[in-house]
Amino acid sequence: MPSCCCLLGLGFPSPPSALRILRRRMASRAFQLRLNPLTGDSEWLVVEEEEEEDHHPTPPPKQLLATTSYLDMLNDSARNRAYRRAIEAAVTDPSSRVLDIGAGTGLLSMMAARALAAVGGETRGGSVSACESYLPMGKLMRRVLRANGMENRVKVFHKRSDELKVRDDLDSPADILVSEILDSELLGEGLIPTLQQAYDMLLAKNPKIVPYRATTYGQLVESTFLWKLHDLHNNEANAADGVWLTPGEMERIVSVKPQQHAMQCGYFNWILLGQSSTQLLLDGRDNQVVRGRNADWCDHWKQCVWFMQGKGIPATEDQVLSLRARHNQTSISYQLNINDEACDRSSKGDHLTLLPERIALYGDKDWRSALINTIKNALTVKSSPTCVVADDSMFLALLISSMSPTSKVIAMYPGLRDKGAAYLRSVADANNFSIDQIQVIGKRASSITADDLKHKKVNLLVGEPFYLGSEGMLPWQNLRFWSVRTLLDSMLSEDAFIMPCKGILKLCAMSLPDLWRSRSSLKDVEGFDHSVVNETLGACGCLPGDQQGPCLPYYVWQCGYTKKLSKVYSLMDFNFSEPIHSCFGKTKIEFSHDGTCHGFAVWIDWVLDERKSVVLTTGPDNRYWKQGVQLFSKPVEVNPGKSVMHVEASFDPSTGEITFSSSSTTCS
């Protein structure tokens, strides 16, 4: 009898507009908010709106858009071809007025302008208008238009579509609307309110729409892996270690947010409890179909998982289950049978929602055991310690307070803040400690003073390390722990116990053909030159000369076909007993397998104790952490005993960034 049932709302492309970056505009410039990974502080980058003279504008800041899905989408030939055909089918009247919302690089706008010219639109009053509110992307679009001789055939607006006005901006209402403001959850990027506003204010009666229709499909599955990603309470019960993040009747106090979670679902095991598919129809003839699970892997096509409560709902063959789906302006929610009310649950002040991978990690028996044993050993020599939890770790604050009744625990909680304090108050009794033991500061390390610590020296400085909001970043963004330790240096006792005590940068050479293809530099995209976008969008493959793309965060196990071509090598050490400083490392990779090497995966192993007996790895074999992936500009054919590769890396403590360089040689 299958008992763990999860619903998959399958597949729509993660959009370029998924770049959720705070912006402010003043006159002719925009201010781009960038997070410093080592401090948690924000700084503003100025992006000028004016075009430079002689048609040579300054490009947006280097690789500003590298972590978005633009490049992957533009490398998806099936998607591009389907859009082109749908637009050509829609643009049949030479007087058509086309509006492109969320225009990105302007690809759909150029398709529309070309289709319009093919039916004589240039002499019959046809027009194409492109709306792109994100200024760096709008500037890049102008460069693409110029490269293709389209700058006078597409009118560009650096505005939100709801800021456009007919007669002020558009000469008349548009007959045709093209857009790609879709994400894997379909509605998360404001598709409904955007299209509704366009219908009400910007479009003529009975307009043609591309895409024309979207249909979502569900699939019930049984999966142990998916269960671990959301049922923290029962996984804690299996761990049986006495520390409860979700005690007793509070089993939902920490949960996964009730929403569709985008994942590459083809890369873990499940039992299908029915049939499923998904499709996006681009035109009204049902001809141009883009499917959510295609044979050619690409990162912007993901499926979505909706988690049922607890262990799921028992299901038997031929059983009929009642499934309800409903949506609001920005999301779709599901309800399986009458007793599944996850989509109706409102969050209380002490309720925390975390990403699925963090939920799984908190319920992992080995992970918990590693932290428990390390802290237990530390407390044997530290009586009545003053302990600072330097990050957003709920587990460590609970663990130390329950294991050492005379300890004073100061939780910095730079991300959780008041929510973390409310949570701890709720679960203190269940974990047998007094809430008076814990003080939640809710500050960054740069703001902490001796007064906050009651002028006591810190005996224990600990972290997972985990900073709320950094889950999707590169592994070394959590070297923020080292920065925090440095800022607190004067407040540490001479024999302070620091956990983790060290970070080790590891790497492994890999074959990653699917990822490499999706990150390759662009040239011709459906007949339009896109080579000017490569640097800004962070292209990695097929680069000229010695150019190198950025190192980007990925769950390697979800990156299509992968193969390890070497053993794991250590590249650089970060010693947390010392203040933060620049680091350099190098290693020689000897290949253990034949294959095509597209790059290497890099991650950090956290050494918890000075004896190096307890290590938490975040490598590709651990599915709950992202790794950094450095792709080569060109693939390298390698053979054991004949091919070697030299890799160097340097860490800059002023920026928190690690840069890599590599070279390969073939031995005779």
* Share above pLDDT 70 across residues of the chain, in percent, rounded to a whole number: 86
Confirm whether 352 is domain-assigned.
no
Catalytic residue among 88, 132, 185, 189: 189
Q: Residue 544 has what pLDDT?
A: 75
Residues 522 and 659 in one domain: yes
Confirm whether 1 is domain-assigned.
no
Please list the ranges in the chain whose pLDDT falls under 50: 1-2, 10-28, 51-60, 276-279, 289-294, 341-346
Residues 380 and 490 in one domain: yes
Residues 164 and 260 in one domain: no
Structural domain harbouring 277: 216-312+321-337
Q: Residue 282 has what pLDDT?
A: 61
Longest dimension (CA), the chain: 86
Look at residues 182, 211, 240 and tell me which one is the last residue of a structural domain: 211
Q: How many domains does the chain have?
A: 5
For 121-171, write each residue's pLDDT tens digit.
Answer: 776 788 999 999 988 899 999 999 999 999 999 999 999 999 999 999 999
Residues 511 and 660 in one domain: yes
Residues 234 and 206 in one domain: no
Residues 205 and 223 in one domain: no
Residues 592 and 518 in one domain: yes
Confirm whether 10 is domain-assigned.
no
Report the alpha-carbon distance of residue 456 to residue 442 in Å, rounded.
Answer: 18
Catalytic: 189? yes
Dig out the tokens for 614 from the structure: 């307890």
Q: Which residue has the tokens 């030939």?
A: 77
What φ, ψ does residue 631 adopt, rounded to 5°?
Answer: -90, 150
Report the alpha-carbon distance of residue 216 to residue 11 in Å, rounded.
Answer: 8
Global pTM value: 0.89
Confirm whether 405 is domain-assigned.
yes
Residues 180 and 252 in one domain: no
For 659, half-sphere exposure in the C-beta direction (CA atoms, 13 angstrom radius) is: 8
Look at residues 499, 530, 554 and tell me which one is the last residue of a structural domain: 499
Residues 518 and 648 in one domain: yes
Dig out the tokens for 245 from the structure: 């993040």
Confirm whether 485 is domain-assigned.
yes
Torsion angle defined by CA atoms of residues 194, 51, 531 and 529, in that order, rounded to the nearest 10 degrees: 70
Catalytic residue among 132, 180, 251, 471: 180
For 30, half-sphere exposure in the C-beta direction (CA atoms, 13 angstrom radius) is: 20
Confirm whether 3 is domain-assigned.
no
Residues 104 and 237 in one domain: no
DSSP string, 454-495: TTPPEEEEE-----TT-TTS-GGGGGHHHHHHHHTGGGEEEE
Confirm whether 346 is domain-assigned.
no
Bridge partners (DSSP) listed for residue 599: 510, 631
Look at residues 153, 186, 211 and tell me which one is the last residue of a structural domain: 211
Residues 134 and 283 in one domain: no
For 411-420, write each residue's pLDDT tens digit.
Answer: 999 999 999 9
Q: Residue 630 has what pLDDT?
A: 95
Let me know: does 492 contact 458? Beta carbons within 8 Å: yes
Domain of 621: which CATH number?
2.70.160.11
Catalytic: 180? yes
For 349-398, write each residue's pLDDT tens digit.
Answer: 789 999 999 999 999 999 999 999 999 999 998 878 899 999 999 999 99
Runs of H (alpha helix) within 134-188: 135-147
DSSP string, 613-627: --EE--STT-TTS-E
Q: Residue 49 has what pLDDT?
A: 55
Confirm whether 358 is domain-assigned.
no
Q: Residue 330 has what pLDDT?
A: 83
Residues 388 and 279 in one domain: no
Domain of 453: which CATH number?
3.40.50.150
